[in-house]
Amino acid sequence: MFFGISHLVISVSDLDRSIFFWQDVIGFSEARRGEGYVDIDTGSAVLRLIQVQSVEARVSLRLQVNDVGQAYQTLLAAGATSLYAPMKTPELEEMACVSDADGHAIAMWRALTEDEWDIVPELPKRGEWMPDAEDLLKRLLAHVPALFRMLARRKTTRVIEELATEAGSPVTRELVIKGYITSSAKITRYRLAEPLRAEGINPDDYKTDFDYE
């Protein structure tokens, strides 16, 4: 019965000005026009800009961008009014917000990378861990590129706890080192040598683990 949302309707007091804002400043393209309206293709939804005498209902839109600061300054330079400058949110996003000439709110946002978080995520551990073992793994994981760190955190923690179960002991620093090495694909384990050395650990002492299939 329902096929989805085809358009988001935005009332504007100056159609040409709004077309310039959405098309020339922001970079979206015109999809269609008719008497008193223009459709703007945003790539994910169509904005229908409709000319009215007076804007009575204002909307709020969120635009995903790769550089919040740059997008914010671009819209300010085009005549938008700042509602709030770029900031980090509790949802681990960076956001800024402006209003256009008709008072519609336009929020720009992007997800923060883990390197930009103000917290170090907890390990998804289940068993008993020695405090120094947990601290070591968190420091070692910091060397993993942020894009892959969540996956590495889950896999490495699981492998380490499997080793601890086999050994019948809590997770120790030694088990963390072994699990950190063996949870990585053998072809890329050479990359682990530098993080280990940074922690005062000699990779040569773990040649068996580096060679583990």
| CATH number of the structural domain spanning residue 65 | 3.10.180.10
50 located within any domain = yes
Residues 186 and 146 in one domain: yes
Per-residue confidence band for 61, with pLDDT thresholds at 50, 70 and 90: very high
Across the chain, mean pLDDT equals 95
* Domains identified in the chain, total number: 3
- Strand ranges (DSSP E) for 55-191? 60-64, 81-88, 93-99, 105-111
pLDDT digits over 103-151, tens only?
Answer: 999 999 999 999 999 888 899 999 999 999 999 999 999 999 988 999 9
Do both 142 and 187 map to the same domain? Answer: yes
202: number of CA atoms within 13 Å, CB side? Answer: 2
74-104 per-position pLDDT tens digit: 999 999 999 999 999 999 999 999 999 999 9
Domain assignment of residue 36, yes or no:
yes
The range of the structural domain enclosing residue 40 comes to 7-57
Q: What is the pLDDT of residue 118?
A: 85
Same domain, 102 and 159: no
Per-residue H/E/C for 27-93: CCEEEEEECCEEEEECCCCEEEEEECCCCCCCCEEEEECCCHHHHHHHHHHCCCEEEEEEEECCCCE
**Residue 167 forms part of a structural domain:** yes
46 and 63 belong to one structural domain: no
Inside any domain, residue 98: yes
User: Does residue 2 sit within a domain?
Assistant: no
Residue 161 located in a structural domain: yes
Same domain, 82 and 135: no
Domain membership flag for residue 174: yes
Question: Is residue 6 scored above 90 in pLDDT?
Answer: no
Same domain, 169 and 201: yes
In a domain, 21, yes or no: yes
